[in-house]
């Protein structure tokens, strides 16, 4: 990965049907999404020149738009192709792919039904989300909670829904932790700021129910890998007072892949054989060395 600022790089971004120079990919300051959070996005990963689970991501982008009240102006197959073309244009083999769509700037106000829906795709080099991830990362408990499903469209990957994630991640970093673990509005274990979480006890996986969480594509992949290994998975309500009962823990997401956790505040975990096996299986799957 490069440390160059994201607004000042060489290359191209696909935007509203054409490639533009990276530095020229701009929007108006009165864009509705900038003020009211009316944007949706995806995070895809390319491995060895191929984007993993691409169509799943494209379909979720379209569904997220619908949940926010607008239609992304492309089909899933068209989005797939644009992502492939943008990856090819970048010349990268392993990369992060970011398709996103948003309400434009024709109207300014809470209501903006007449605003044009724009779409763009950017690609950049990407390594591990966390340095030395097999060492295990550290989590603190977040102050902010995931809200109830009747307060937000919780199944949308919407820009505005990430405000509490940013606040929680910043607070975790300020305290010296790698990330934050969020509870939901009922006080149950929910997820990290950009990843789902799994625990291990007595050879079985435990993960929070998905009733208020984004339908995670990596989470679904991990469930399939667990089935492939014959592991029992308990998708259920998990409460904070259970944290001391688990022996291993890991988080999963497109950016994080499968990353072990070694500490959640005072609770310590040791990445064991089961976690290592899951990490290896996922790596083999995305590099097309394993088929499910």
- Supply the DSSP string of 107-146, one letter for each residue: --SS--TTSPEEEEEEEEE---SSTTGGG-EEEEE-SS-B
Instruction: Count CB-CB contacts under 10 A for residue 173.
Output: 13
Instruction: Count CB-CB contacts under 10 A for residue 148.
Output: 12
User: From CA 121, how far away is CA 230, in angstroms rounded?
Assistant: 38
User: From CA 167, how far away is CA 179, in angstroms rounded?
Assistant: 11
**Domains of the chain with bracketed CATH:** 12-125 (3.30.470.10), 133-286 (3.20.10.10)
User: What pLDDT is stored for residue 280 in this prediction?
Assistant: 96
- CB of 126 closer than 8 Å to CB of 96: yes
The catalytic residues are: 157
Give pLDDT < 70 ranges for the chain: 1-2, 128-131
User: What pLDDT is stored for residue 109 in this prediction?
Assistant: 94
Structure tokens at 151: 């307060």
**Closest by alpha carbon to 205, among 140, 141, 278, 283?**
278
3-class SS of residue 272 = coil
DSSP string, 156-197: S-BGGGGHHHHHHHHHHHHTT-SEEEEEBTTS-EEEESSSEE
User: What pLDDT is stored for residue 130 in this prediction?
Assistant: 60
User: What pLDDT is stored for residue 127 in this prediction?
Assistant: 77
Determine the angle formed by the axes of helices 54-67 and 217-228, rounding to 10 degrees: 140
User: What pLDDT is stored for residue 3 in this prediction?
Assistant: 79
User: What pLDDT is stored for residue 131 in this prediction?
Assistant: 61
Structure tokens at 182: 């969020």
68-109, pLDDT tens digit by residue? 999 999 999 999 999 999 999 999 999 999 999 999 999 999
| Residues linked to residue 181 through DSSP beta bridges, in sequence order | 141, 192
């Amino acid at each position: 990965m490069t440390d160059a600022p994201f607004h000042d790089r060489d290359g191209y971004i696909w935007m509203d049907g054409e490639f533009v120079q990276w530095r020229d990919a701009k929007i108006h300051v009165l864009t509705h999404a900038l003020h009211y959070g009316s944007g949706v996005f995806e995070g895809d990963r390319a491995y060895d020149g191929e984007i993993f689970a691409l169509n799943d991501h494209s379909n979720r982008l379209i569904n997220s738009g619908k949940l926010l009240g607008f239609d992304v102006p492309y089909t899933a197959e068209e989005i797939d192709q644009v992502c492939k073309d943008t990856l090819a244009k970048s010349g990268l083999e392993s990369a992060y792919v970011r398709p996103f769509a948003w309400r434009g700037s024709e109207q300014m106000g809470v209501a903006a039904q007449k605003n044009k829906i724009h779409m763009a795709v950017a690609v950049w080099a990407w390594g591990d989300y966390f340095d030395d991830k097999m060492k295990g990362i550290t989590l603190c408990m977040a102050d902010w909670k995931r809200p109830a499903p009747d307060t937000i469209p919780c199944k949308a990957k919407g820009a505005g829904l990430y405000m509490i994630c940013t606040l929680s991640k910043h607070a975790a970093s300020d305290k010296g932790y790698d990330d934050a673990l969020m509870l939901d509005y009922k006080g149950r274990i929910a997820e990290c700021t950009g990843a789902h979480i799994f625990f291990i006890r007595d050879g079985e996986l435990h993960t929070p129910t998905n009733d208020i969480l984004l339908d995670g594509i990596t989470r679904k992949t991990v469930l399939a890998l667990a089935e492939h290994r014959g592991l029992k998975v308990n998708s259920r309500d998990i409460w904070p007072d259970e944290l001391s009962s688990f022996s291993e823990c890991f988080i999963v997401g497109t950016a994080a892949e499968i990353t072990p956790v070694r500490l959640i505040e005072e609770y310590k975990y040791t990445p064991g054989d089961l976690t290592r096996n899951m990490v290896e299986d996922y790596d083999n799957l995305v590099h097309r060395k394993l088929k499910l």
